[in-house]
Amino acid sequence: MTAKVDLTGQRFGRWTVLEEDGRDERGRALWLCRCDCGTERAVKGWRLREGTNRSCGCLRREKNAARGRKMATHGMSQTRIYNIWKGMLQRTTDPKSASYQHYGGRGIKVCERWQNLDGFLADMGPTYADNLTIERIDVDGDYAPGNCRWATVAEQARNKRNTRLFEFRGQSLVIADWAKVLNMNAKTLTSRIYLYGWSVERALTEGVAPERLADL
Residues forming the site for Zn ion (CB under 5 A) = 35, 37, 39, 55-56, 58
Cβ distance to Zn ion smaller for residue 43 or 193: 43
Cβ distance to Zn ion smaller for residue 40 or 177: 40
Between CA 161 and CA 150 the distance in angstroms is 17
Distance of CA 41 to the CA centre of its chain: 37
Secondary structure element (H or E) that encloses residue 180, with its range? helix 175-182
Smallest distance, Zn ion to C-beta of residue 131, A: 31
Cβ distance to Zn ion smaller for residue 37 or 153: 37
Q: Please report how the helices 153-163 and 175-182 are oriented relative to each other, as an axis angle in degrees rounded to 10.
A: 40
Smallest distance, Zn ion to C-beta of residue 47, A: 15
Smallest distance, Zn ion to C-beta of residue 53, A: 11
Q: Determine whether 190 is exposed, middle or buried from the number of CB atoms within 10 Å of its CB (0-12, 13-18, 19+).
A: middle
Cβ distance to Zn ion smaller for residue 53 or 92: 53
Smallest distance, Zn ion to C-beta of residue 16, A: 11
Question: Residue 164 in contact with residue 174, Cβ under 8 Å?
Answer: yes
Between CA 90 and CA 92 the distance in angstroms is 5
